[in-house]
Amino acid sequence: MEAVGEFVQQRWGELLDEVGAGAAERYAAGEAFPRKYLIQAAQKSLHGLALPREIGGEGMGSNVWGRVLEEMTFRCDESAFSLVVSMTTSIAFTLYQSGDARLIDNYVRPFMSGELAATLAFTEDADFWSWGTTLTRDGDGGVLSGRKSYVTGGLISDVFLTYAAAEPGRLAACLVHRDDPGVRLIPAEGMGFQSAGMAVLEFIDVELGPERILTWTDGLDHSQLYLNERRSMQASWTVGRMRGLVARCAARLRTTTRQGQPVLDYANVAGALGRMHMLTDVAQTMTHDVLDRQARGETDLVYDAKISAAKHFSAEQAMNLAHQALRALGGHAYYGDEYYGRYVRDCAGLIPAGGTQDSLEITIGALVAKNLL
């Protein structure tokens, strides 16, 4: 990771310092970080890092990209920044995998240049077989109506990879643009990620040409392709955030004394820090393992149990770490430094995001029962 740290520092260090500078104030005010940072990051070749050279990327693979994402999250106080960047890169990867030259030219290349930013519009407060969002055939194209409840980076994105109910028992996937007539973005309320530009997305009879419709019938498989890759990126982000928490805790504990002694001389406090490091280290090892497997083409592209396990484990441990920090730091974590509040609020979102922990356990359990793992 040292080499990755140096690489990140060299290429994006200055930008990360600038983005991170106003993070706490933006979070408190519920303001999205400025869109210009996404453009600046792309101009410094962040978005194309893992994409192949033949389409203008740097061909470094998902193992490098995941580690860079982790490192950026670790270094930058604006933790929403790397998260939102990774929404675009995950969609770029999914569209690239389709092999469709039009999608690559019209979307993947502009994602790499920073001209466009993309995010996911999947969830609504309903089972996907009874979604209110529908795509209805209209000539060669379709008309989209409905509402998506919580879209990461929605307020600062241009393109929405949207899933909708189409023919009976089928999901469609389509690309919706922010400036399409009938698209409405509303700031979304939530527990955390206050500076990530979370949005509710409404579609009022949005007309989409055939070039915007990725599939009329296989949206469920399409979404799994996206979500599978997404989970390893979520785990990478989580590990970066965990490393940040441990470093902040250690820095505070190094300067704290009680009863005339540095608190780190108390075995229970040193032990807490040791525990926190171990949890983070195991989450990182698991995540790096799946990133390396992905880069070697050894993972299942639709559903990979090891990727899901990395998402699951890192999300659980991120919350466990918050608990450990509250024990080790005393009241400081609660009222002395607002950083911990942001951490707890954001990391709570890792439990449902990318597929609930329960759903991952059920799927992995079913695979074990069938002797498939």
Ligand X SMILES: Cc1cc2nc3c(=O)[nH]c(=O)nc-3n(C[C@H](O)[C@H](O)[C@H](O)COP(=O)(O)OP(=O)(O)OC[C@H]3O[C@@H](n4cnc5c(N)ncnc54)[C@H](O)[C@@H]3O)c2cc1C
**How far apart (Å, rounded) are the C-alpha atoms in residues 89 and 108?**
9
Q: In the complex, what is the shortest distance from the CB of residue 19 to ligand X, in angstroms, rounded to a whole number?
A: 19
**How far apart (Å, rounded) are the C-alpha atoms in residues 110 and 280?**
35
Q: In the complex, what is the shortest distance from the CB of residue 43 to ligand X, in angstroms, rounded to a whole number?
A: 24
Tokens standing for 254?
């190094």
Residue 61 vs 355, nearer CB to ligand X = 355
Q: Does 358 bind ligand X (CB under 6 A)?
A: yes
Question: Which position has the token pair 């919706």?
Answer: 176
Residue 152 vs 194, nearer CB to ligand X = 152
Helix axes 219-254, 79-97, angle to 10 degrees: 150
Q: What is the distance between the terminal CA atoms of the chain, rounded to a whole angstrom?
A: 30
**How far apart (Å, rounded) are the C-alpha atoms in residues 350 and 315?**
5
Helix (H, G, I), strand (E, B) or coil at 77: coil
**How far apart (Å, rounded) are the C-alpha atoms in residues 136 and 120?**
20
**How far apart (Å, rounded) are the C-alpha atoms in residues 150 and 147?**
10
Tell me the per-residue interface mask from 244 to 283 with ligand X, x by CB under 6 A, - otherwise.
----------------------------------------
Can you tell me which of 108, 321, 329, 353 binds ligand X, judged by CB under 6 A?
353
Interacting span for ligand X (CB under 6 A) from 14-22, 93-101, 148-156, 246-254:
148-156
Can you tell me which of 102, 359, 366, 373 binds ligand X, judged by CB under 6 A?
359
Tell me the per-residue interface mask from 312 to 351 with ligand X, x by CB under 6 A, - otherwise.
-------------------------------------x--
Residue 152 vs 280, nearer CB to ligand X = 152
CB 196 within 8 A of CB 80: yes
| Torsion angle defined by CA atoms of residues 193, 194, 200 and 201, in that order, rounded to the nearest 10 degrees | -80
**How far apart (Å, rounded) are the C-alpha atoms in residues 98 and 161?**
14
Q: In the complex, what is the shortest distance from the CB of residue 359 to ligand X, in angstroms, rounded to a whole number?
A: 5
Can you tell me which of 82, 86, 94, 152 binds ligand X, judged by CB under 6 A?
152
Residue 12 vs 237, nearer CB to ligand X = 237
Can you tell me which of 21, 301, 356, 366 binds ligand X, judged by CB under 6 A?
356
Q: In the complex, what is the shortest distance from the CB of residue 315 to ligand X, in angstroms, rounded to a whole number?
A: 10
Residues 182-241 that bind ligand X (CB under 6 A): 193
Report the DSSP beta bridge partners of residue 258: 261
Residue 285 vs 359, nearer CB to ligand X = 359
**How far apart (Å, rounded) are the C-alpha atoms in residues 176 and 13?**
33
Can you tell me which of 46, 151, 159, 318 binds ligand X, judged by CB under 6 A?
151
DSSP state of 343: H
Residue 65 vs 122, nearer CB to ligand X = 122
Tell me the per-residue interface mask from 174 to 193 with ligand X, x by CB under 6 A, - otherwise.
-------------------x
Interacting span for ligand X (CB under 6 A) from 4-12, 259-267, 314-322, 358-366:
358-366
Rg of the chain in Å (alpha carbons): 21
Q: In the complex, what is the shortest distance from the CB of residue 10 to ligand X, in angstroms, rounded to a whole number?
A: 31
Residues 90-129 that bind ligand X (CB under 6 A): 119-123
**Binding residues for ligand X, how many (CB under 6 A)?**
18
- Helix ranges restricted to H, the chain: 2-21, 23-29, 36-43, 61-75, 79-97, 101-103, 109-113, 219-254, 267-295, 305-329, 339-348, 357-369
Handedness of CA 224, 227, 231, 233 (dihedral sign): positive
Q: In the complex, what is the shortest distance from the CB of residue 358 to ligand X, in angstroms, rounded to a whole number?
A: 3
Within 10 angstroms of residue 271's Cβ, the number of other Cβ atoms is 11
Contact residues for ligand X, defined by CB under 6 A: 119-123, 148, 150-152, 193, 349, 352-353, 355-356, 358-359, 362
